[in-house]
Homo-oligomer: A and B are copies of this chain.
Amino acid sequence: MCPAPAKRKTDIGAPHYDKFLPPIIKRNYGNWRHHELPRPGVVVHVAESGDKLYSVRAGSPRLLSIETLRLFAAIADEFSDGYLRFTSRNNVEFLLADPAKVDPLIARLKQEGYPVGGTGASITNIVHTQGWVHCNSAASDASGVVKSVMDELLPYFESMTLPARLRIAFACCLNMCGAVHCSDISILGMHRRPPKINHATLAKNCEIPTTIASCPTGAVRPATVDGKPSLEIIEEQCVLCGNCCAVCPSMSLNDPGDGISIWVGGKVSNARREPMFSKLAIPYLPNNPPRWPEVVSAVKNLVEVYAAHARRFERMGEWIERIGWPRFFKLTGIEFTKHHIDDFRHAGESFKRSVHLRRPPA
């Protein structure tokens, strides 16, 4: 009999978070009383015990080299006893017990090129996805668009003067990796041409029946091309969802005519209005790298019009509901087109089924 092989170590899960919590948090875990936002990027949590925790938040591109991670570690060692965390929107936070270190830390972060802000009624980091950097499905580049937009919106990251917090999200295709469908402003990569098929490889690497079944509109049909079994797309039926491409490696939506759409008025929190989806504002803007000027100015316009008109605590979507969509389109100068009218499954639910109209057009 051979000896039993050394059992392979697997399924250990995540390390317990306890190891990574600073002592002030361990002491006051579950016993916080309230918080304050003394300046942009700093949240002070006051415990029942009277202890105060200072969290300093800095913007991050999320796509981080290990060099930068080591830099963050070094900064943490210097200012926050080595304790740091990342937020649900990919900002980095340093957790300080010593208020005296807050200002020096902020200075240091800025000096290294990491702006401090994103708290309260600000624009915080843009949640985003892989883009051309890494995903096969991307209709645009995530990081490039985010960088271009945030370069322009930085003042809103570093201040807290908006009517309410404003959340921007980016996704590079309809899969929408992130909460793009529920953001104040969503930037969404759009393919515009039905999938292209690599007939040469299809028979080899693609399950034809599965691919046919994957299409929600029945647009994928069997076909024989150059004597080999393959597929064809009924173009008028295709809604560009990409599902067939997700199951069949020989199909791709990527095309130089891809671009970007802009959506507005979604939210996630239950504060005041129930959570809601983002709605279409601009159906298409071109991919214009490296700076995507059309996208940047469209987003900036939305932010500025919102900032000028919304009331305090009114998220983008709440503001639009108050003034009505006709006025939103007028104020932002965006054209209302056929594309804005839903035509998918529950389309009829979005029609205006009352005469509640603010000053109807002549």
Q: Mark A339-354, 1 if CB is under 8 A from B, else 0.
A: 0000000100100011
Q: Does A4 contact B (CB under 8 A)?
A: no
Chain B proximity of A325: nearest CB distance (Å):
14
B-facing residues in A240-287 (Cβ within 8 Å): 270, 274-275
Q: Does A355 contact B (CB under 8 A)?
A: yes
Judged by DSSP, the binding face of A is loop
A356: chain B residues at CB < 8 Å are 270, 274
Q: How far is the CA of A346 from the CA of B351 in the complex (A)?
A: 14
Q: How far is the CA of A353 from the CA of B277 in the complex (A)?
A: 11
Chain A interface category by residue count = under 10
Q: Are B355 and A270 touching (Cβ within 8 A)?
A: yes
- A355's nearest neighbour on chain B, judged by CB, is B270
A354: chain B residues at CB < 8 Å are 270, 274-275
Copies of this chain, tallied across the complex:
2
Q: Mark A24-56, 1 if CB is under 8 A from B, else 0.
A: 000000000000000000000000000000000
Chain B proximity of A343: nearest CB distance (Å):
15
A353: chain B residues at CB < 8 Å are 274-275
Chain B proximity of A267: nearest CB distance (Å):
10
Q: How far is the CA of A346 from the CA of B344 in the complex (A)?
A: 12
Q: How far is the CA of A113 from the CA of B321 in the complex (A)?
A: 51
Q: How far is the CA of A354 from the CA of B274 in the complex (A)?
A: 6
- A356's nearest neighbour on chain B, judged by CB, is B274
Q: How far is the CA of A355 from the CA of B272 in the complex (A)?
A: 11
A274: chain B residues at CB < 8 Å are 353-354, 356
B-facing residues in A84-141 (Cβ within 8 Å): none
Q: How far is the CA of A349 from the CA of B355 in the complex (A)?
A: 22
Q: How far is the CA of A353 from the CA of B270 in the complex (A)?
A: 10
Q: How far is the CA of A277 from the CA of B337 in the complex (A)?
A: 29
A275: chain B residues at CB < 8 Å are 353-354
A270: chain B residues at CB < 8 Å are 354-356
Q: How far is the CA of A226 from the CA of B120 in the complex (A)?
A: 77
Q: Mark A311-347, 1 if CB is under 8 A from B, else 0.
A: 0000000000000000000000000000000000010
A355: chain B residues at CB < 8 Å are 270
A349: chain B residues at CB < 8 Å are 346, 349
A346: chain B residues at CB < 8 Å are 346, 349
- A274's nearest neighbour on chain B, judged by CB, is B354
Chain B proximity of A328: nearest CB distance (Å):
19
Chain B proximity of A356: nearest CB distance (Å):
5
B-facing residues in A50-79 (Cβ within 8 Å): none
Given A270-B354, A275-B353, A349-B349, 8 further pairs, Cβ under 8 A: A270-B355, A270-B356, A274-B353, A274-B354, A274-B356, A275-B354, A346-B346, A346-B349
User: Which 9 A/B pairs are nearest by Cβ-Cβ distance?
Assistant: A274-B354, A270-B355, A274-B356, A346-B346, A270-B354, A275-B354, A349-B349, A270-B356, A346-B349
- List 11 A-B pairs, Cβ < 8 Å: A270-B354, A270-B355, A270-B356, A274-B353, A274-B354, A274-B356, A275-B353, A275-B354, A346-B346, A346-B349, A349-B349
